[in-house]
Structure 1
Amino acid sequence: MRSFAFVFFFLAAINFSAAAQNDDSVFLFSYFKGNGDGLHYAYSKDGFKWKAMFNDSVVLKPAVGVDKLMRDPCIIRGGDGAFHMVWTVSWNERGIGYARSTDLVNWSRQQYLPVMEHEPGARNSWAPELTYDARSGQYYIYWATTIDGRFPQNDTAAESKYNHRMYYTTTKDFKTLEPTKLLWDPGFNIIDLSIVPNGDGYVLFLKNETRAPEEKNLRVSFASEITGPFTIPSEPIHGKYWAEGPSAVQIGGQWVVYFDKYRDHKYGAVTSSDLRNWTDVSDRLQMPKGMRHGTVLTISAAEFARMQKAFRKKKK
């Protein structure tokens, strides 16, 4: 296991140039506020000083699910060049939200993807994310779910007895979904997984959700395939505070992982050049007030300009 992890640490160190930021690129952050009011954006040129776009207004209001929330929005650029987004629609529903856009302002009709409706004991579908696999042309959608009685409940202090594991499905068109499968049971309560292509493999950022003994922290793992096998998660990559919603990008030869310090009601970040040694840079961040669990995306300056134009046109 150690030698396997070492291979990926090495790959991480030699692949920064492939993912480096272009001079004309812009970092875009999607997020929500409150209990899930809708899609918000912030932007940055350096990855540390962020400014809310469109006066921090809601770009897309949630329209699917019983509770019609939009929490934890995750946006990626797909193989078709368009942008694809998934999100949490409820605290207690068995599906997730999905929409597609070409300009990040005008979105397709929202869909409810019933990813856990086949499981009568499923209690939720939280913090879905997307990873596109260019080799197969498939999108991997993955999220955290508690299924009553499915796994031994060791975390007896967990809120409402949640005991999450990660599940996934694949699709090429977001209309036909392959049967849902278990993605990862690391032996503890896990949520907020983010899988990022890295060299010939993948780096995974995750939250150990264990309440007692207290964890509530973010860790790193590696895999050669999206579906594993996964290396044993690292030690926590940040200080002794609760964090969730990791989202990573590479800036100037450094990994930057953003996360929601949700008990402190603010955002934090750590950096690393080797995915082993981490430096807390939370004090460098300037983020919009009230932003919650979201994801970072790199777009071109031209795409950024088109966003602004599309928003102005939409508001007329």
Structure 2
Amino acid sequence: MAMTVGRRSALALLAGLPLLAAGPARARPALGVGVDPGRVPVRYTMTAFRADSDTTLAVYESFDGTTFSVVNEDAYTPPTGLVRDPSVLRHTDGRYYLTYTIAGDARAIGLARSTDRITWTPMAPVPMLVPGRLDGAWAPEWYTDAAGRVGIVVSLTGGYGFAPHLLIPLDESLSLWSPPVPLLGLGPAAPGSLGQIDTTLVRRDGRVYAFVKNEDTKLIELAVADHPLGPYRFLATGDWAGWGGPREGQSVVPLPGGGHRIYLDAYTEGRYLYSDSTDGFRTWTPPAELPGLSGRVRHGTVLPEYEPLAAR
């Protein structure tokens, strides 16, 4: 699927587009946007769609990443379509932004915003500006670079499997977006392959790690690159971490005491799991059910937050 924006243009946008960070945060991103290895999360916000309704957004919060309490389990129902695979961002303007899958065959992704995580206002959908055939845009996920600039990773299919792409905002309000640019090294590896979906990018030690769901095996795999656009090379495939499968909706966050946690949707079992790593993603603890939320939520994203927190 050829894109109308080349990799060179996309790299230039990521490297220097001043509108990617809002207002006075252009020179120094506001605390709370992105993952700063020198800071400790003070709160986690989870957005998910409810297990009993893929048109209803549920929002939860936690101060340790394990025990979550309800912010609002009826936070948002979009004007039309679904609110599957919701991913949440706290942007440099202090607002929370949500992106989500609106339909299985959609040619756009949904957006909404909030100041308090309790009530949400719909924004205009983001169209996937690609030529030719497009049969679906799934599982959009926010990505934030070290400077606080943001993008959305979304899995697109043109009838031959899914491939992750990156969208770049072209204005401060996150209402105007570039065409999607493919992430090199990810996507269908051979004819007949279903590719990868649910890609989440995690920055660590100056590199970008991609946790992807292999749609052929239904397992979560790990790739790495020096830039969000790639090229990516796989570090671990198959059931390398012992999470089992099928699994999807992976979300990875830093923990207050060090290390990282991954959240996983065991969607065929009606369970929601988590697993921890303290050695740079090499080994992981056996997956355990997330207390209070396992069986209640589907495909969520967990956002680590830092001071200052938005008012409630």
Note if 1:18 corresponds to 2:38.
yes
Sequence identity percentage: 26
1:8 corresponds to: none
> What is the CA-CA distance between 1:292 and the residue it aligns to?
0.4
Note if 1:177 corresponds to 2:171.
no
2:204 corresponds to: 198
Structure-to-structure mapping, 1:166-245, within 5 angstroms: 166-173=164-171, 174-184=174-184, 185-186=186-187, 187=189, 188=193, 189-210=195-216, 215-235=217-237, 236=239, 237-245=241-249
Render the CA deviation track for 1:95-142: whole Å, top value 9, x for unaligned: 0001222322343442111115x444211100001112354x642212
Please say if residues 218 and 238 of structure 1, whose CA atoms lie closer than 8 Å, have aligned partners that are also in contact: no
1:44 corresponds to: 62
CA gap of 1:131–1:16, structure 2 versus 1, over 3 A, is closer
TM-score normalised to the size of structure 1?
Answer: 0.76
Please say if residues 254 and 304 of structure 2, whose CA atoms lie closer than 8 Å, have aligned partners that are also in contact: no
**Higher strand fraction (1 or 2):** 2
d(CA) in 1 for partners of 2:78, 2:85: 12
d(CA) in 1 for partners of 2:204, 2:304: 16
Determine which of 119, 130, 138 is the counterpart of 1:126: 138
d(CA) in 2 for partners of 1:69, 1:42: 19
CA gap of 1:125–1:283, structure 2 versus 1, over 3 A, is closer
The number of residues matched between the two structures is 265
1:277 corresponds to: 283
Tell me the C-alpha RMSD between the 2 structures.
2.4
The worse-fitting range, judged by mean Cα deviation, of 283-292 and 118-127 is: 283-292
Aligned-partner residue type, residue 167 of structure 1? H
> What is the CA-CA distance between 1:17 and the residue it aligns to?
5.1
CA gap of 1:26–1:233, structure 2 versus 1, over 3 A, is same
Unmatched segments (≥5 aa) in structure 2 = 1-34
Note if 1:164 corresponds to 2:162.
yes
Note if 1:248 corresponds to 2:252.
yes
> What is the CA-CA distance between 1:265 and the residue it aligns to?
0.6
Please say if residues 63 and 110 of structure 1, whose CA atoms lie closer than 8 Å, have aligned partners that are also in contact: no
TM-score normalised to the size of structure 2?
Answer: 0.77
Aligned-partner residue type, residue 140 of structure 1? G
d(CA) in 1 for partners of 2:170, 2:117: 20
Render the CA deviation track for 1:255-305: whole Å, top value 9, x for unaligned: 10001000001101111112111112414644254200010013368747x
d(CA) in 2 for partners of 1:239, 1:200: 26
Please say if residues 16 and 254 of structure 1, whose CA atoms lie closer than 8 Å, have aligned partners that are also in contact: no
Aligned-partner residue type, residue 53 of structure 1? V
d(CA) in 2 for partners of 1:19, 1:218: 28
Please say if residues 208 and 219 of structure 1, whose CA atoms lie closer than 8 Å, have aligned partners that are also in contact: yes
d(CA) in 2 for partners of 1:113, 1:260: 26
d(CA) in 2 for partners of 1:199, 1:233: 16
